[in-house]
Amino acid sequence: MTTPSAKTAFLFPGQGAQVVGMGRQFYDQSPAARAVLDQIDRALSRPLTKVMFEGPQDVLQQTVNAQPAIMAVSMACLEAMREKLGPLMPKPSFVAGHSLGEYTALAAAGVLGLEDTARLVQERGRLMQVACDQRPGTMAAVLGLDEAALLDVARETGTYVSNINTAEQTVISGDAAGVAKAMEAATARGARKVIPLKVGGAFHSGLMEPARLGLEQAVGRLAFHDATIPIVANCTGEPLTDAGAVKRELVAQITSCVQWKRSVERMADSGVTQFMEVGPGKALASMVKRIAKDALAVSVGDVESIAAFKPV
């Protein structure tokens, strides 16, 4: 697949990757993954795995369930990889996660233990749901409009640029009226397509301020460690290792734009030639292929893809 000397980054998916049945294969076939999932159930004092394996989908999609579930499956996948690959397991130069996935990244980098990460992610989901109820909002994807034009649209309509995923794919957030105006303005400025998203609120925007305040308190109660692997921050696209800097990043991230394009470019500029998406879905690998065209991007999210991984 690649040479063992290839610089690797592990990427972890965010909310939206959830699907009923995810993680079941790992639970049944990998003792290491099963141990991760059981530990998270114990940490949360509830059978999250039952929701993951059996649904129903509308229950799994609830933010308080979807967020810890995606983190749990991503960490289970990581442990299944270590179990299966042994000495062939790539040693990442960086880790990064998209929004929620940043929490998986900090667990993978040893900033927090698995149980503390699970509880923090569950609290993040709860706080975000409360914020959505207090300050309702929505989001829309914008295709084919550059970042500068999108920022102008946001300023004109009182909305927020919440994700810069690739040069071609961005997301705006705000209240329903503002996002409707922004969609019209983006189309008028030449956007190829605008797509309203089926989400519960205006994530990564100022409407999440109530959640930021609660998250700051939750983060402050935990003992963070310096990262053993640099974590490329959503807010800046720059690598972090200092525990205090990681805390500040998590708190800022909830109301700030996810700079995914900048993050991938930063890793590629630092010599990363192999990006491995670890966990459910394939969205991040697809984005990488549009950003760092010379790099290899693979998704590892099930037993078969782990078995197929063969470094040359």
pLDDT bucket at 3, cuts 50 / 70 / 90: very low
Residue 53, pLDDT score: 97
User: For 164-219, what is each residue's pLDDT tens digit?
Assistant: 999 999 999 999 999 999 999 999 999 999 999 988 899 999 999 999 999 999 99
Which one, of 70, 67, 83, 85, lies nearest residue 35 by Cα?
83
DSSP state of 16: T
6 — pLDDT class (breaks 50, 70, 90): low
Q: What percent of the chain has pLDDT over 70?
A: 97
- pLDDT, tens only, 133-169: 999 999 999 999 999 999 999 999 999 999 999 999 9
Q: Across residues 130-135, what is the average pLDDT?
A: 95
The contacts of residue 251 (CB under 8 Å, 6+ apart) are 212, 215, 216, 219
Q: What tens digit of pLDDT does each residue of 95-115 get?
A: 999 999 999 999 999 999 999
What letter represents residue 165's amino acid? N
CB 124 within 8 A of CB 67: yes
pLDDT reading at 294 higher than 70: yes
Q: What is the mean pLDDT of the chain?
A: 95
pLDDT of 72 above 90: yes
Element holding 84 (H helix, E strand):
helix 63-85
pLDDT digit string, tens, across residues 38-69: 999 999 999 999 999 999 999 999 999 999 99
Q: pLDDT tens for residues 236-250?
A: 999 999 999 999 999
Q: Is the pLDDT of residue 5 over 70?
A: no
Rounded to a whole number of angstroms, the distance between the first and last alpha carbons of the chain is 6
Q: What is the pTM of this model?
A: 0.95
Residue 102 neighbours by CB under 8 Å, 6+ apart? 12, 96, 231, 233, 234, 249, 250, 253
Query: Residue 12: pLDDT above 50?
Result: yes
The predicted structure's pLDDT at residue 2: 40
Quick check: 80 pLDDT over 60?
yes
| Amino acid occupying residue 39 | Q
Alpha-carbon distance 127 to 214, whole Å?
7
The reported pLDDT for the residue numbered 199 is 86
Q: What is the pLDDT of residue 78?
A: 98
> Does 312 score more than 80 pLDDT?
no
Given a cut of 50, is residue 273 above it in pLDDT? yes
- Distance CA(219)–CA(40), nearest Å, equals 18
Place of tokens 């205090």: 244
Give the rounded percent of residues in the chain with a pLDDT score beyond 90: 94
Q: Residue 260: pLDDT above 90?
A: yes
Tell me the C-alpha distance between 259 and 166, whole Å: 9
Structure-derived torsion over alpha carbons of residues 142, 145, 151, 153, reported in degrees to the nearest 10: -70
Whether residue 56 is preceded by a cis peptide bond, meaning omega within 30 degrees of 0, is yes
Structural domains in the chain plus CATH codes: 7-133+205-308 (3.40.366.10), 138-196 (3.30.70.250)
Q: Which residues are annotated as catalytic?
A: 99, 204
Token pair for 45 = 């004092």
The DSSP annotation for 117-175 comes to HHHHHHHHHHHHHHHHHHS--EEEEEES--HHHHHHHHHHHT-EEEEE-SSSEEEEEE-
